[in-house]
Structure 1
Amino acid sequence: MFKKLAIAPRWIIFLIDLTCVLISILIAYIIRLNFNLNRFVEFVDLRASFGIVAGVNVVLLLLFKNYKGVVRYTTLEDAKRVLLLNLTASVLFLALNYTRLHSENLLLFPLSVTAIYFLCANFSLLAYRIVIKTIYEGMFTLRKKTVKAVIYNASYEGMLAKRMFANNERSTIKIISFLDDNPRLIGKKIENVPVFNATRQNLQKLKKDGTELLILAEPFINKEKLNFLVDACLELNIKIQQVPPSEKWTNNQLDDTQLKNINIEQLLDREVISIRNESVVREIKGKKVLVTGAAGSIGSEIARQLVKYSPAVVILCDIAETPLHELMLSFDEGAPVRSFIGDIKDKVRMEQIFEIYEPDIVYHAAAYKHVPLMEEHPSAAIVNNVSGTRILAQLAVDYGVEKFVMVSTDKAVNPTNVMGASKRIAEIYTQSLYKHLSMASQHKGAANVLPHTRFITTRFGNVLGSNGSVIPRFQKQLEEGGPITVTHPEITRYFMTIPEACQLVLEAGSMGKGGEIFVFDMGRPVKIVDLAYKMIRLAGKVPDVDIRIVYSGLRPGEKLYEELLNNSENTLPTYHEKILIAKVREYDFVWVQTQIDELLRLAEGHIVLDTVIKMKEIVPEYVSNNSVYSKLDK
């Protein structure tokens, strides 16, 4: 009912505006004559003045269309139009003095009267709009429950967000203050909203004043500050959400529904490593690149990043038909990508891909990687991860591939499970093969031998959002109302984002000279139970009250702490302080070839126990943990 009444017909607004300017000219004359009504009658031609003021303003109101605005939504733009209207009218009045003089040679609109009129007209036209807007907002606020909120960022994005919430009648959010770290803004007021320093003490005071929500309007907030704000808000039971950048607002408008919860991925205790993309451009541009495991989390992101560097073609190889089809659909029409359905264990099929495309670079991301599954099926892990890698490596050499970049894992360091040990054996094979090729080149004389394939390995920890990652699993359990299952209260893991992991793989391909295993500083390991608690609280729930955390026990082959370097290994620096080269034990290729031949004979025969025994012979640091194979270590 109130809404209908609040939208007045345009002709009423037009008449109110016209009345305001007529009253303004009357007040201007009265003030100019020092409120002496006798002189007013003597010197003012009221009929002529009112007629001219009314005529001029009717024309200007129709021209500027001020009356078309909805009064309760008055903005700064409306105020600008009012000022322009009155300025134009005042200039016209002054101009009229030179075309029509008063009967006694006095100006009809003296400069003083025009100046007073300008001020009075602006005041009256703006004042009644502000009064109506204030009354409407007050009445509307009484009819809805408001949420007291503070905005972090008192600069452009924060101001824009504040105005959007204030002007949106459907919004339940009332901004009571800003938080900022800029000393020039702290202690000041912006649009009558105070700005405070973003400290824990100020958050505590705001909580006492009823603050329920902290809105992040800073798109480039650093992780240290973000973690501080999140921890402080969770401690004080203040909900924390973020607004998208202003260019992504729906229809250039912002409402409560566009506020998003903080993702746990944003709270990694490390900054993203910066990569020298120029070297990757030089490496990839115009080349034919093969990506195995292209439909997986890592392979698909590698493919997406490769396309940006203008390759001749990117061949996407995977055995999973549907995910590969979906990946192909994700590329723009005309993108230099080709699909290839194939199993890396199928030597004939793999040889076809080398014959057809003759790739210059291979990124080998295909692997079985789920630790509990591979613990149950060790022969499958060996056939896929070791035999598949050997087939591709041999084909890369036979077809003159420039570089072969293998994606490995931190679980290959002091492995405690079949999956990690299988990846370590694959590393050993490619490294020993590269050493063998290098020695053969030196023996025959470099001038007479074509450059051989350079084999490079990258190791990194868990990637957020990948298939099987703990974060999506926790998120699903949260959506289902819990409980969240954590294997052990002390288990920790290193984490990185998928794009960052793939940047490392590409950088390794451009940086590597051959034979290296690249590792990098992944920051501090994260305690998984802390992740679970934080995810629950970020979702607005109370741990162990709304959502329970249940400890399920370590899974077969799982260890509490992951490592990036073997205890007997050391590292060499690269041009990037965060990226290192692991110096690992070297193996004789003939011995490795013999051992892997025997390992594959056992694995392809699915002689499980003997397969695991042979793995432990090849990788003596492989000691099973929480596994049926632990008895083999005694």
Structure 2
Amino acid sequence: MIINYFAKHSQKYASKWLVFAIDLLIVMATFFIAYFIRFNFSFNFNVGQFWLQVPFIFTISVASFLIVGSFKSVIRHTGFTDVVNLFKSVVLIAGITGLLVTLNNKFGVVSNFTVPATIIAFHAIMSFTVLSASRLVFKMAFKHLQCKLLASKRILIYGSGDEGIVTYNALVNNTTLSYVVVGFIDDNTKKKGKNINGVPIMSFGQVTPIFAANNGIDEIVVASESVSSGKLIALIENLSVANVKITKVPPIDNWINGELSSKQIKQVQIEDLLGRAPIEINSPTLQNEFSGETVLVTGAAGSIGSELVRQLAEFDVKHLILVDQAESPLYDVEQDLKRAGKTDYTAIVADIRDGLRIDSIFQEYKPTMVFHAAAYKHVPLMEKTPYEAIKINVNGTKLLADTSSRYNVKKFVFVSTDKAVNPTSVMGATKRMAEMYITCLQKESKTKFITTRFGNVLGSNGSVIPLFKKQIENGGPLTVTDSEITRYFMTIPEASQLVLEAGSMGKGGEIFIFDMGESVKIFDLAKNMIKLSGLRYPEDIDIKITGLRPGEKLYEELLANGENTLATYSKKILISKTRELDYERIKASIEELCITNRFQNNNIVLKMKRLIPEYKSNNSDYERFDKRVQTYKKVKGIVDNKVDKNIVNR
């Protein structure tokens, strides 16, 4: 409480004028000491002459300190710049003194008045030394009191480069919490054994649970963007038993006014453990692509749609049209745009299944580009209601694509999923059918239809990360369907960046797939989230295996059977080469399926399986239809890569 009060009110009680007075006292004291040393530590000097010189030196010192302003710095935060200012003040005092004494000796303005050159030199050296030392002593004393009276944390900083040093300064200068930096960790073995501000640099291998326990380490702050996710995972796994918290410094671009605050240091997020570097696209073509365009985004209140809206709002678009049937989330997106000072947008509550409503929106606003992100995406729920999945994912896409074609929209970008590849669920099959429909439509339309496929999005509504967080808050257990299940992951901003980039480079008819690195085992993800929460698996929170859900895959894929890829100018984006389709028959079959009666779920699934030869249900009641379709194909002599031309509509 005492140190908190002192820190809070130090500007009031240790004002700059008090510092000014103390500095003057030091300068006058060192002036006397300079005489004392100059005359062999005795008083064998002209005391009368000395007292004549005192007001002269005092006046010059006052003027010098006021000119340089060295007394204005906050003493407990004294740094190199403050020491430089002290040096300037002392040099100015010595310079003015020497100049005035020289002029007086030459012109005799004041008779019998002089200051020996040796005294001026001694005084300058001693003044600078004592002034600097006084600040250092005060800073050390303040830090010592802070450590004694404030709650303190013992810290290791991962990274001894510029970011590490800035982090060190931000921590040690914190006034609300005392940080004791025990050491720096660095992967450069040449730095091992060296010191920064008296703090040792150690290697990654030295940071063991025993080391952490023996040194009372509370936290490791990662202050280097080059630290791999593998190293972060190793830290989390090795030090979780020692209850060491792992935090991370944000990128330099996110620092406030170019300066780092200790409040900006946040706990390591699950996104940092993806096993790959963050995807960053800084394409100058995007600004030109969207400049002056009227862009319509469906599913604008969803995870991907809302991020697309935010990123598009940063471009010089003519107008943004936000379409979603979820009223409250759409309102939240609208408020975000208002807070960002955006005005060139219109938020519309509408259902993409309502053809007349969609047509009226196109007629009124005349969009030139469409990003279609509206969809039903939850696999188990769609497995129970194929009709609803068809109605939104297929018929909704069909109505929107048809309308876009009719109004000669330049580009239509469809947000698909890796679950459309060799689908094992109703949801995946409906997304694949939507892909097929817009591919067929491309043959007869001026609109460029573009499809983008990617995996799971971290933090999106209904995804595994929010579920795990909620389960951790409730004390567990975390539920995983299978210990071997893996998924591809990317962050919401990454997914949106890649959708925009693919939309920019698309010429029409492509299916773009994204490089998402290695797939992630969900079981490992769950364990890491427990450790990131400062808990232990399985002592604090356990993981329960629940079994695969209906339609769920063990492993996701990005390419279907018979597909391969073409490169683009972006290493992170590839074009899938799909097999040839019988466009007229498939288009007609999809149109017929869209008007199927809602009570004909079995008939809907059977037709989808005949339409999509690679669609084979997994852990679902609809698996029984796979044998029927295979028998049908054998009887008809149909091979998988020819099925599109032979069994549609049968």
TM-score of the two chains, using structure 2 as the length reference: 0.85
Whole-angstrom distance in 1 between the partners of 2:46 and 2:316: 86
Partner residue in 2 for 1:530: 524
Cα 1:211/1:628, change in 2 over 3 Å: same
| Within-5 A mapping of 1:80-479 | 80-98=84-102, 108-144=114-150, 146-181=152-187, 187-197=193-203, 199-201=204-206, 207=212, 208-218=214-224, 223=229, 226-227=232-233, 230=236, 233-234=239-240, 238-244=244-250, 257-275=263-281, 277-331=283-337, 332-333=340-341, 335-435=343-443, 437=444, 452-479=446-473
Whole-angstrom distance in 2 between the partners of 1:522 and 1:55: 70
Partner residue in 1 for 2:501: 507
- Partner of 1:456, secondary structure, is strand
Q: Deviations over 1:33-59 (max 9, x none)?
A: 33465xx24697333234434454466
1:468 positional shift: 1.0
Structure 1: runs of 5+ lacking an equivalent: 438-450
Assess if the C-alpha contact under 8 Å between 1:276 and 1:507 holds in 2: no
Whole-angstrom distance in 2 between the partners of 1:243 and 1:420: 39
Whole-angstrom distance in 2 between the partners of 1:396 and 1:333: 29
Whole-angstrom distance in 2 between the partners of 1:260 and 1:576: 31
Whole-angstrom distance in 2 between the partners of 1:249 and 1:402: 39
1:391 positional shift: 1.5
Whole-angstrom distance in 1 between the partners of 2:289 and 2:142: 64
1:537 positional shift: 0.9
Over aligned residue pairs, what C-alpha RMSD do you find?
3.4
| Count, aligned residues | 616
The equivalent position to 1:614 in structure 2, one of 585, 607, 616, is: 607
Q: Deviations over 1:22-76 (max 9, x none)?
A: 4322322232233465xx2469733323443445446656777767777655554
Whole-angstrom distance in 1 between the partners of 2:162 and 2:579: 56
Partner AA of 2:266 in structure 1: K
Partner AA of 1:554 in structure 2: L
Are 2:36 and 1:30 equivalent residues in the alignment? Answer: yes
Q: Deviations over 1:199-243 (max 9, x none)?
A: 223567853544332112235656566556555555775321123
Whole-angstrom distance in 2 between the partners of 1:142 and 1:32: 42
Assess if the C-alpha contact under 8 Å between 1:432 and 1:586 holds in 2: no
1:114 positional shift: 1.1
- Partner of 1:606, secondary structure, is coil
Whole-angstrom distance in 1 between the partners of 2:518 and 2:535: 26
Whole-angstrom distance in 1 between the partners of 2:295 and 2:626: 42
Are 2:535 and 1:541 equivalent residues in the alignment? Answer: yes
Cα 1:615/1:200, change in 2 over 3 Å: same
Are 2:616 and 1:623 equivalent residues in the alignment? Answer: yes
Assess if the C-alpha contact under 8 Å between 2:379 and 2:552 holds in 1: yes
1:14 positional shift: 6.3
Partner residue in 2 for 1:485: 479
Assess if the C-alpha contact under 8 Å between 1:417 and 1:624 holds in 2: yes
Assess if the C-alpha contact under 8 Å between 1:172 and 1:256 holds in 2: no
Structure 2: runs of 5+ lacking an equivalent: 628-650
1:109 positional shift: 1.6
Q: Deviations over 1:604-623 (max 9, x none)?
A: 33222222222222123222
1:171 positional shift: 1.8
Cα 1:265/1:48, change in 2 over 3 Å: same
Assess if the C-alpha contact under 8 Å between 1:458 and 1:518 holds in 2: yes
Cα 1:77/1:433, change in 2 over 3 Å: closer
Partner residue in 2 for 1:442: none
Mean CA deviation greater in 86-95 or 245-254:
245-254
